[in-house]
């Protein structure tokens, strides 16, 4: 192996390294973006309840049962009243997919089955985020979701475990 060959090999190696580094940087950047997007999606809204609700935290299972309308009472025995935005609302979609891990159409068919077989009730649908806020503030036992910007001391933010 002469010097010429060696220098070519080094060059190739250097080139590969630099490519690898840029790929790595790109991958890191993608991860970074992904994490950032994730944080942003989960960070901008919260599950909220009326102030009289005694719970401060819920398991994911309980949250799912509440929005599937099968869990009907809080731990102190009072009524749970569920409020949702329309199926195609951005916040409702984000909430269904991220917190409950279901698609809005699946929730809709669960609720339809309950209502039209007489074995349950559907959540109350509100038309706007303002109406959601009003209902959660003024209805005992209410649960819903709000953008961070709409949350103040008049509602309670629930932690989901």
Partner 1 sequence: MLFVVGNLSVQAQEVPSQKQSELIRPLNKKLQSTDLFAQTDEIGASRVAEKPGLVSTAMQWLRSTDLPGDLQIHGFVSQAYITTSDNNVFGNSDNGGSFGLTEAGLNASVRPLPRLQLSAQVLSRRAGKGNSGIPRLDYAILDYQLYSHEANQFGIRVGRLKNPFGFYNETRDVAFTRPSILLPQSIYFDRTRNLGLSSDSVQLYGDVAVFDRGTFSTQFGVTLPVVDNRDTESSLLGLVRDGSLNREVSYIGRGIFETNDKRLRLGISGIWLNTSYDPKNPISSLNPLELGPGGLEFTPVFFSAQYNAERWTLTSEYAIRPFQYNHNFQNPNLNGLHVVGESYYFQGEYRFTPKWEGILRYDALFTDRSDRNGSDWVAENPARRHGLEHSRFAKDITVGLRWNVTPAFMLRAEYHYVNGTAWLSGLDNPIDLRTGRPFDTDQHWHLFAIQASYRF
Binding site for partner 1 (CB under 8 A): 25, 28-29, 32-33, 59, 61-62, 64-65, 70-73, 77-79, 81, 86-88, 101-103, 105-106, 109-110, 112-113, 115-122, 124-125, 139
- Smallest gap, in angstroms, from Cβ of residue 9 to partner 1? 26
- Alpha-carbon span 114 to 122, nearest angstrom: 7
Which CB atom, from 7 or from 97, has the smaller least distance to partner 1? 97
- Alpha-carbon span 139 to 67, nearest angstrom: 17
Q: How far is CA 128 from CA 10, 70, 135, 149, in A?
A: 64, 25, 11, 14
- Alpha-carbon span 95 to 102, nearest angstrom: 9
Which CB atom, from 8 or from 17, has the smaller least distance to partner 1? 17
Which CB atom, from 23 or from 103, has the smaller least distance to partner 1? 103
Which CB atom, from 2 or from 117, has the smaller least distance to partner 1? 117
- Smallest gap, in angstroms, from Cβ of residue 151 to partner 1? 23
- Smallest gap, in angstroms, from Cβ of residue 124 to partner 1? 7
Nearest to 67 by CA among 45, 46, 83, 44: 83
Those residues with Cβ within 8 angstroms of residue 67's Cβ, 6 or more apart along the chain or in another chain: 82, 84, 100, 107, 123
- Smallest gap, in angstroms, from Cβ of residue 51 to partner 1? 18
């Amino acid at each position: 192996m002469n010097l010429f060959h060696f220098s070519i090999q080094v060059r190739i190696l250097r080139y590969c390294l630099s490519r690898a580094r840029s790929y790595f940087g790109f991958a890191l950047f993608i991860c970074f973006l992904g994490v950032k997007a994730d944080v942003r999606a989960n960070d901008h809204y919260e599950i909220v309840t009326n102030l009289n609700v005694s719970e401060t935290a819920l398991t994911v299972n309980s949250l799912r049962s509440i929005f599937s309308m099968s869990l009907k009472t809080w731990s102190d025995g009072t009524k749970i009243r569920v409020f949702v935005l329309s199926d195609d609302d951005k916040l409702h979609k984000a909430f269904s997919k991220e917190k409950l891990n279901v698609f809005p159409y699946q929730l809709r068919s669960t609720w339809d089955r309950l209502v039209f077989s007489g074995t349950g009730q559907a959540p109350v649908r509100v038309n706007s985020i303002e109406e959601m806020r009003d209902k959660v503030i003024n209805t005992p036992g209410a649960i819903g979701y709000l953008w961070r910007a709409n949350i103040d001391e008049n509602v309670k933010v629930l932690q989901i475990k």
